[in-house]
Amino acid sequence: MARKPLTKPRKYASQGRSRATVDALIEATARILVRDGFDKASTNRIAEKAGVSVGSLYQYFPGKEALVAAVMKRHGEELMQVVRDALAEAAALPMEQAVRALVVAAMEAHRIDPRLHRVLAEQIPRMGRLENTEVLNGEIHALFRAWLDAHCDEFRPLDLGLAAFVCVTSIEALTHTAVVHHSESLSEEAFGALVDEATRLVVRYLQ
């Protein structure tokens, strides 16, 4: 029996007061993560910022990691919604436009909250197997792979798994790096140019 692999909330509070407390805690965690980084996000500080006592924090979360996991989950769901929508639209578009739509979606997903995204991305590896993150990642690969499969007659012969890995990883890296590390130095046009290039990268790779 592992001593503390707990990254799940203790209660799935759904009634008013509880729910508000939980939300305040998650929100506070996200804010502190953004403002001060993971290391400064102590349970006491989070509780204080949430306007709640430490005791309440521990009533709902078994520790700091669970809070960060909750933030990740929340953020991940927002991300996935963007990505899912984009892939749904992409189904009906001609290939190049479809790819472009995906790239744009990836960019938008990163732009939902770039600072938070960054901190979370950096902490994921340190948090001992976040199933949630892996699930999302897996879902993206699966969705993209399905899209490839549906359009495979438009491409050269592909190893779908490998191609999905190459495309998803590249798009992710390009949009992530641009948004997370160069947001301040890039103009809107530069982002536009990057979308063009990323699209070309993927399209030509698949052809």
Partner DNA sequence: GATGAATGAGGGTTCATTCAT
Partner DNA sequence: GATGAATGAACCCTCATTCAT
- Residue 42 touches a second copy, criterion: CB under 8 A: no
Kindly tell me which of 59 and 170 has the beta carbon lying closer to DNA. 59
Kindly tell me which of 57 and 98 has the beta carbon lying closer to DNA. 57
The entry of DNA, a second copy, none that residue 141 binds, CB within 5 to 8 Å by partner kind: none
The answer to whether the CB of 118 falls within 8 A of the CB of 173 is no
H or E stretch covering 82: helix 64-90
Minimum Å distance from CB 48 to DNA?
9
Task: Kindly state the number of chain residues that form the binding site for DNA, as judged by CB under 7 A.
Answer: 27
Residue reference for tokens 């996935």: 80
8 vs 65: CA distance, rounded Å: 9
Residues 138-167 that bind a second copy (CB under 8 A): 159, 162-163, 165-166
For 100-191, where are the E strands, in sequence order? none
24 vs 145: CA distance, rounded Å: 38
188 vs 159: CA distance, rounded Å: 35
DSSP for 173-188, written as a single string: HHHHIIIIIHGGG--H
25 vs 61: CA distance, rounded Å: 9
Closest alpha carbon to 150 in 79, 104, 142, 83: 142
26 vs 167: CA distance, rounded Å: 33
Kindly tell me which of 132 and 170 has the beta carbon lying closer to a second copy. 170
Of the residues 23, 31, 38, 108, which one makes contact with a second copy according to CB under 8 A = 38
| Amino acid code (one letter) for 51 | G
Residue range at the interface with DNA (CB under 7 A); choices 45-53, 158-166, 173-181, 197-205:
45-53
- Residue 170 touches a second copy, criterion: CB under 8 A: yes
- Residue 122 touches a second copy, criterion: CB under 8 A: yes
Minimum Å distance from CB 177 to a second copy?
5
- Residue 63 touches DNA, criterion: CB under 7 A: yes
Closest alpha carbon to 47 in 32, 37, 36: 32
Kindly tell me which of 112 and 186 has the beta carbon lying closer to a second copy. 186
Q: Which residues bind a second copy (CB under 8 A)?
A: 37-39, 118, 122, 125-126, 159, 162-163, 165-166, 169-170, 172-174, 177, 193-194, 197-198, 200-201, 204-205, 207
Q: Which residues bind DNA (CB under 7 A)?
A: 4, 11, 15, 17-18, 20-21, 39-45, 51-60, 62-64
